[in-house]
């Protein structure tokens, strides 16, 4: 029997405090910072299960749980789970809470790479200043692949920095965006940022063949989904001097990577091994899927999560359903 109305997995401390702030006293909620697979929960712990991006939902729970809510703008995994669930099981997501925070993280990453920030910090101990001459962004060309809510914020930020900005998207919904074809503009781009939703069609999109014609020294930033870029190919592009730097906040098989790093487990998967190798590169910045994580976004996420849960408990429906 479920003893909670809702159970929040992968809820870090700051998020839990904010969720508790917005939850009505009438809703019984449980919390853990762990994924479902890291817990010893053999049965579903609530009628509503809320996760982030690293949990694998047991198939047996699909007959026990009434609704699943991902506290994320990405919903690709939930779409795959829904295919195995009964039509009565509801799936929700949060489309609006982190557009600005993720866009600013993308900017933070490309700025840090352009100014060689990791090497600057390392060389403070000796005050050695050779090899740390960086670049200014004014006048540089920014190519944003995927101009949805987050991508459009990246476009706006790039313009604010006096960059030349182009967008790549099948759905050209913003009249003020200069849309181009990726292969056409890649050789001129100084910075490539992916902000696409993950689909079967764009899985592995940023591979060696796709990026080999990049402008020498170009930077590649992935704040979208790890499955869109191939770590071994990014390493090859860096080693051959085609890419000048790589920054990632998301990773393929992130659920496995996250658990392996948290628990200091041996990594067997070759692509995940390469991610650990890339972490040692001076022109690579890897962050732990943290682009969403600002005070402002955590407040929005927590408030919108509670809105979703209250609406489901009252009506049996989410405000924002995972799209078909």
The alpha carbon of 4 is separated from its chain's Cα centroid by a whole number of angstroms, namely: 29
Query: Does residue 224 share a domain with residue 145?
Result: yes
Q: For residues 34 and 129, state if they share a domain.
A: no
Q: What total of structural domains would you count in the chain?
A: 2
Q: Looking at the structure, tell me whether residues 134 and 266 fall in a common domain.
A: yes
Same-domain status, 110 and 199: yes
Residue-wise pLDDT for 70-80, tens only, equals 999 999 999 99
Q: Are residues 46 and 170 in the same domain?
A: no
* pLDDT one digit per residue (tens) for the chain, 324 residues: 468 999 999 999 999 999 999 999 999 999 999 999 999 898 999 999 999 999 999 999 999 999 999 999 999 999 999 999 999 999 999 999 999 999 999 999 999 999 999 999 999 999 999 999 999 999 999 999 999 999 999 999 999 999 999 999 999 999 999 999 999 999 999 999 999 999 999 999 999 999 999 999 999 999 999 999 999 999 999 999 999 999 999 999 999 999 999 999 999 999 999 999 999 999 999 999 999 999 999 999 999 999 999 999 999 999 999 998
Domain membership flag for residue 321: no
Residues 60 and 166 in one domain: no
Entry pTM: 0.92
Mean pLDDT of the chain: 96
Are residues 19 and 165 both part of a single domain? no
Claim to verify: residue 51 and residue 127 sit in the same structural domain: no
Whether 93 and 228 share a structural domain: no
Write the CB contacts of 286 (distance below 8 Å, at least 6 apart in sequence). 247, 248, 249, 275, 278, 279
Range of the domain at 183: 99-286
Query: How far is the first Cα of the chain from the last one, in angstroms, to the nearest whole number?
Result: 30
* CATH number assigned to the domain comprising residue 12: 3.40.50.720
Alpha helices in the chain (DSSP H): 13-22, 76-82, 99-114, 117-123, 149-160, 182-185, 208-211, 231-239, 254-262, 270-278, 295-315
Q: How far apart are CA 137 and CA 141, in angstroms?
A: 8
Domain-located, residue 137: yes
The pair of structure tokens assigned to 94 is 């949060």
Convert the pLDDT of each residue in 20-67 to its tens digit: 999 999 999 999 999 999 998 989 999 999 999 999 999 999 999 999
């Amino acid at each position: 029997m479920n003893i909670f109305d809702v159970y929040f997995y992968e809820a870090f401390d700051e998020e839990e405090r904010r969720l508790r702030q917005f939850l009505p006293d009438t809703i019984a909620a449980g919390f853990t910072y762990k994924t479902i697979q890291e817990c010893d929960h053999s049965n579903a712990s609530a009628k509503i299960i809320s996760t982030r991006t690293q949990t694998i939902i047991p198939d047996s729970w699909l007959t026990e749980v009434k609704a699943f809510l991902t506290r994320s703008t990405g919903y690709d995994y939930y779409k795959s789970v829904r295919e195995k669930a009964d039509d009565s099981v509801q799936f929700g997501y949060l489309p609006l809470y982190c557009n600005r925070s993720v866009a600013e993280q993308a900017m933070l990453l490309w700025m840090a790479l352009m100014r060689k920030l990791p090497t600057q910090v390392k060389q403070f101990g000796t005050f050695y200043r050779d090899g740390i001459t960086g670049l200014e962004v004014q006048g540089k060309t920014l190519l944003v692949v995927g101009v949805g809510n987050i991508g459009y914020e990246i476009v706006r930020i790039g313009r604010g920095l006096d960059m030349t900005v182009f967008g790549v998207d099948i759905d050209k919904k913003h009249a003020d965006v200069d849309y181009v074809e990726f292969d056409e503009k890649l050789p001129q781009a100084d910075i490539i940022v992916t902000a696409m939703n993950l689909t079967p069609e764009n899985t592995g999109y940023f591979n060696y063949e796709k990026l080999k014609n990049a402008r020498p020294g170009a930077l590649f930033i992935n704040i979208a989904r790890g499955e869109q870029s191939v770590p071994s190919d990014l390493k090859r592009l860096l080693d051959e001097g085609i890419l000048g730097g790589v920054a990632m906040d998301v990773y393929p098989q992130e659920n496995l990577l996250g658990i392996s790093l948290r628990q200091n487990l041996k990594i067997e998967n070759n692509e995940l091994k390469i991610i650990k190798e890339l972490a040692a590169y001076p022109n690579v910045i890897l962050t732990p899927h943290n682009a969403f994580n600002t005070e402002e976004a955590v407040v929005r996420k927590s408030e919108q999560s509670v809105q979703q849960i209250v609406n489901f408990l009252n009506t049996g429906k989410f405000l924002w359903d995972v799209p078909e």
